[in-house]
Amino acid sequence: MRNRIWRALQLSLLGFAALSEAQAVEVEPCAEIYEAEINDLQSGGQTIAGSSVYGVLSLQLESGCILGEKDSTGIRQLYTALPNVPDEKRAKARADLFDAIEAQLEGLPSSTCANPGDPAAACIVGRQLKSIRDVRELLEQGNPPLADPKLSNNNWTVVTGAGRIPISGVALQPLLATECAEGALTPRCRTAVDLAAKLMRSALGTFQAISAHARPTIEGNAEFLSKRDKEWNSYFNDISVQYPWELGFNGWWFQKKTPAEERRGFPRAPARKFIALHPAVGFEYAEGIDGKRTTQGAVVLEVFGYERWHWKDGKAAGRVGASLAISFTDVVGADSVGYGMMFHTPYRNMSMGAVWRDGDSGESVNFIFNLDPSSWINHYRNFDLMEFIKAPAL
Amino acid sequence: MRKHVLLFVHGMGAYVTEAGEADHTWSRAAATALKEQYDKYQLVRRKRFEDRFEVVHINYDTEIFKLVHRWQEESRAILAAGVPAAAPARRLVKWLDDGAQLEDNFAWTHAACVILYRFFPLLRQRVKIHVANQIQKALAPNENGAVSAWSVIAHSLGTIVTHDVLHAMDSTTTTSEAGISVLDTMVPSANLIAMIANVSKVLENDVDVYDSLVVPQSMVQNQSCCFSYFNCNNVLDPFVRPAPFRPGDDKTTWTLARANGAYFDIVTRNAHELNVHSLRNYLVNPAVHIPLLEQLVGVGTITDEEKEEAAKLEDVPLDQLGAEVSELTTRVRSHFGGSDPDASQWFDLAGVFFSMLRGGSNA
């Protein structure tokens, strides 16, 4: 064990010494910015410990010299342009992007080490460079499946906390803490900082190349979610409201009929519902004691019913339904309760039907219809009132 | 390169305007509360909060409110119809006629939203897809490229909503690309999922929260939606005491995540405002915000001296606030027969706590 640790240390030191020489020929965009940042911090009286160096460098993510506005490598411009490049020019644009990404690591000593977790700098560079080339090769082949582990987004990221880059197995925070233990501006530390910047830039640049390839699938998934969202929105807000007890019963039915695995994801909104003890305001064209018919305000209670439809472009289409209903109304000379059937229409959730009602002059059959007030209120909520009431143009 | 996307997911309460639009007041206050802590540390604040994070406010209360509002409208229409014969129908719906009132209506604005989410699976699915759609839009690539870093800060009821949605997004594959989830297609796993006042266990539903994909990645759990997970609970917060989130030793993924330093189980005991359940009361505690900031901006950005200074914060100030918190705790306990409410009384607690809190703060 002791030998293995010693070997790793030797490799690490050798690797960083070699990196120092290689860096002499290539300017890292972060080098000057990092130096200025450290000088500024130190002139303000702050001592930068080795453990804080990663924190200083990570300030450059997003907006600075690592794929930000101060990044002179051109990688950012290449990947932001890639999704909009015409199909016939995409291969060339992608090749340019990968050339720029690979150039980040190409001048550095790299080695294919036997141990996949070898912490030596050359091994880290070797692993990352090989993986970048693997991705490039896959994408050049045409249309590789995104499920290929080499294209996994989780490999091509910088996990902010410890600066871990999964693809090369390096954690930048402890690495920089070790390399910068003797000072944040020592040559050894500067070399490690330059390497860290290149590793971050090349990993995140590769992620962007994969993401550009994934755009059609991402858009397809967005459509899928948007359609499901529309269906559920329609289920709750377009179709007549379900009272708590109805929602409870239909929910129980949904749980019973939908496989558990589907429920854990994004199941489709139901295409049916049961109606139970559902009251709504309505009107009854009722026969009075004198045999004359008048329209009376009523409350219609649907005792039990069923409605079904199918989903078309996120909307419920072909809605049909019926229910047994009781109509409550006050008609002189007639019972206050009538019994009948209601049929549902898709138009603003209106329902219509007929009820039988006993009265002093015998049994009468009356036409009834009911409304879904919330549906009407929602419909007219956004109307311009003045526009609505003004006289029509002649 | 895109900024680190920071999603804030609200808890129970009314987060809609009178017109039914999403009200982001809580979310903005939450981001401000985090920024206050962020600005305390020299190296952290060297980059402005706004330059580092793209804050996204996730709202699902609009969907709960729409339903309750429809119930209220239907109920009021029936009551207003003035049909004496319809007394049975009026009795059926009368209790729904103040459901959508937003002021001082804790039974509806706090307890009902929790009950509706937990016990009404259809509404839960509605909320899930609505939130997923918002998350998808926030994380989708734009003209500046793809999002390479994102995190979630969820509070209270928002912890179970976040859990259910992220599990669904990380397990759902559409027909267009079998084998890779909606989430994995778009972004790497979340840097951090911070569950503040984590009630995901007590409100667990279709997915077992200990066996879901909302767990840090490890050697035994490759498919997961985060790199690190925060479980923050304050012992003075009555909501987190029944059925706390506490994966046992038999849950290998969590045991390994803990060993890897990817699962942070943070238990605090502090009261810096009467509402000990509030997100701000959690974030003000250095035991919460220091590791949280380190995961968001990098380990080592807060110096040991700064940590020592922050640790001097008094947990429960021994002033009037301390006495008020103690009194509130006693009143809540006495409502539940002198003991802590258990999981079955949790929903009652949601209404009781906030109405007592309002009473206390008015006093």
Is the model more confident about B215 or about A113?
Answer: B215
Residue B192: list chain A partners with CB under 8 A: 160-161
Identify whether the C-beta of residue A356 lies closer than 8 Å to the C-beta of residue A363.
Answer: yes
- CA–CA min distance B152, chain A (Å): 14
Residue A243: list chain B partners with CB under 8 A: 71, 74, 92-93, 96
Identify whether the C-beta of residue B278 lies closer than 8 Å to the C-beta of residue B268.
Answer: no
Nearest-CB residue to B298 (from A63, A163, A263): A163
Q: Are residues A372 and B143, on separate chains, in Cβ contact within 8 Å?
A: no
A77 touches chain B (CB under 8 A): no
How high is the pLDDT of residue B347?
A: 74
Residue B227: list chain A partners with CB under 8 A: 159, 161, 164
Q: Are residues A235 and B69, on separate chains, in Cβ contact within 8 Å?
A: no
- CA–CA min distance B242, chain A (Å): 24
How high is the pLDDT of residue A51?
A: 94
B363 touches chain A (CB under 8 A): no
How high is the pLDDT of residue B132?
A: 98
- Residues B284, B272: Cα–Cα separation, whole Å: 8
Identify whether the C-beta of residue A210 lies closer than 8 Å to the C-beta of residue B185.
Answer: no
3-class DSSP state of A94? helix
Q: Are residues B83 and A277, on separate chains, in Cβ contact within 8 Å?
A: no
- CA–CA min distance A298, chain B (Å): 6
Identify whether the C-beta of residue B282 lies closer than 8 Å to the C-beta of residue B234.
Answer: yes
The residue ranges of DSSP E strands in chain A, in sequence order, are: 164-165, 170-171, 272-287, 293-312, 315-328, 337-344, 351-359, 362-370
Residue B42: list chain A partners with CB under 8 A: 46
Could you write out the DSSP letters of every residue in A186-249? SHHHHHHHHHHHHHHHHHHHHHHHHHHHHHHHHHHHHHHHHHHHHHHHHHHHTSPP--HHHHHH
A232 touches chain B (CB under 8 A): yes
B148 touches chain A (CB under 8 A): yes
B322 touches chain A (CB under 8 A): no
Residue A301: list chain B partners with CB under 8 A: 86, 88-89, 92
Instruction: List the single best residue of B76, B115, B122 to mutate versus A (max A Cβ within 10 A).
Output: B122
- Residues B67, A279: Cα–Cα separation, whole Å: 16
Residue A280: list chain B partners with CB under 8 A: 74, 77-78
**End-to-end CA distance of chain A, in Å?**
97
Q: Are residues A161 and B180, on separate chains, in Cβ contact within 8 Å?
A: no
**Residue B356, both tokens:** 């007592």
B86 touches chain A (CB under 8 A): yes
How high is the pLDDT of residue B148?
A: 95
A295 touches chain B (CB under 8 A): no
Identify whether the C-beta of residue B133 lies closer than 8 Å to the C-beta of residue A226.
Answer: yes
Is the model more confident about A271 or about A292?
Answer: A271
- CA–CA min distance B22, chain A (Å): 15
**Residue A66, both tokens:** 């690592």
A68 touches chain B (CB under 8 A): yes
A330 touches chain B (CB under 8 A): yes
- Residue found under tokens 């693809």: A167
A270 touches chain B (CB under 8 A): yes
- Residues A172, A177: Cα–Cα separation, whole Å: 8
- Residues A11, A126: Cα–Cα separation, whole Å: 13
A/B interface, count of CB pairs below 8 Å: 281
B125 touches chain A (CB under 8 A): yes
- The secondary structure of residue B188, as a DSSP letter, is P
B184 touches chain A (CB under 8 A): yes
Q: Is the pLDDT of residue A386 over 60?
A: no
Residue B52: list chain A partners with CB under 8 A: 62
**Residue B131, both tokens:** 């939130």
A97 touches chain B (CB under 8 A): no
- Residues A42, A185: Cα–Cα separation, whole Å: 11
Instruction: List the single best residue of A154, A250, A311, A376 to mutate versus B (max B Cβ within 10 A).
Output: A154
Identify whether the C-beta of residue A292 lies closer than 8 Å to the C-beta of residue A364.
Answer: no
- The secondary structure of residue B221, as a DSSP letter, is B
Distance of CA A350 to the CA centre of its chain: 36
CA dihedral B118, B122, B128, B134 (to 10 degrees): -130
**What is the rounded average pLDDT of the residues A97-114?**
90
pLDDT digits 0-9 by tens, B318-351: 577 777 888 888 888 888 887 777 777 777 777 7
Nearest-CB residue to A377 (from B73, B176, B177): B73
Among chain A residues, the shortest Cα distance to B129 is held by: A229
**Residues of B numbered 232-291 whose beta carbons fall under 8 angstroms of chain A's beta carbons: which are they?**
none
Work out the percent of chain A whose per-residue pLDDT is above 70.
87
A291 touches chain B (CB under 8 A): no
The confidence band for B241, taking pLDDT boundaries of 50, 70 and 90, is confident
B176 touches chain A (CB under 8 A): yes
**Residue A385, both tokens:** 């009132």
pLDDT digits 0-9 by tens, B277-286: 999 999 999 9
- Residues A113, A130: Cα–Cα separation, whole Å: 11
Identify whether the C-beta of residue B193 lies closer than 8 Å to the C-beta of residue B150.
Answer: no
How far CA B242 is from CA of B137, B155, B199, B235, B267, in Å, comes to 35, 16, 9, 11, 14
B79 touches chain A (CB under 8 A): no
Could you write out the DSSP letters of every residue in B280-307? HHHHTSHHHHHHHHHHHH-TTSS-HHHH
The confidence band for A240, taking pLDDT boundaries of 50, 70 and 90, is confident
How high is the pLDDT of residue A87?
A: 87
- How does strand A362-370 pair with strand A351-359? antiparallel
pLDDT digits 0-9 by tens, A131-182: 999 999 999 988 888 889 999 999 999 999 999 999 999 999 999 999 999 9
**Which segment of A110-114, A230-234, B306-310 scores lowest on mean pLDDT?**
A110-114
**Residue A114, both tokens:** 């036997």
Nearest to A211, CA basis, from A82, A388, A115, A113: A82
The confidence band for A375, taking pLDDT boundaries of 50, 70 and 90, is low
Single-letter residue type at B141: P
Nearest to B125, CA basis, from A274, A267, A310: A267
Identify whether the C-beta of residue B325 lies closer than 8 Å to the C-beta of residue B316.
Answer: yes
Average pLDDT taken over every residue of chain B: 88
**Residues of A numbered 183-222 whose beta carbons fall under 8 angstroms of chain B's beta carbons: which are they?**
204, 207-208, 211-212, 214-218, 220-222
Identify whether the C-beta of residue B186 lies closer than 8 Å to the C-beta of residue B141.
Answer: yes
Identify whether the C-beta of residue A285 lies closer than 8 Å to the C-beta of residue A297.
Answer: no
**What is the rounded average pLDDT of the residues A188-212?**
96
Provide CB contacts within 8 A for A149, sequence distance 6+.
Answer: A155
Radius of gyration of chain A (CA): 35
Provide CB contacts within 8 A for A338, sequence distance 6+.
Answer: A284, A286, A326, A327, A329, A355, A356, A357, A366, A368
**Is B251 exposed, middle or buried, given 0-12, 13-18 or 19+ CB atoms closer than 10 A?**
middle
- Residues B7, B148: Cα–Cα separation, whole Å: 14
B62 touches chain A (CB under 8 A): no
- CA–CA min distance A134, chain B (Å): 19
How high is the pLDDT of residue B4?
A: 96
Q: Is the pLDDT of residue B238 over 90?
A: no
- Residues A229, A220: Cα–Cα separation, whole Å: 14
pLDDT digits 0-9 by tens, A29-77: 999 999 999 999 989 888 899 999 999 999 988 778 999 989 999 999 9
Nearest to B49, CA basis, from B314, B289, B334, B313: B289
A78 touches chain B (CB under 8 A): no
- CA–CA min distance B146, chain A (Å): 6
B70 touches chain A (CB under 8 A): yes
Q: Are residues A229 and B77, on separate chains, in Cβ contact within 8 Å?
A: no
Helix or strand holding residue B196 (H, E)? strand B192-196
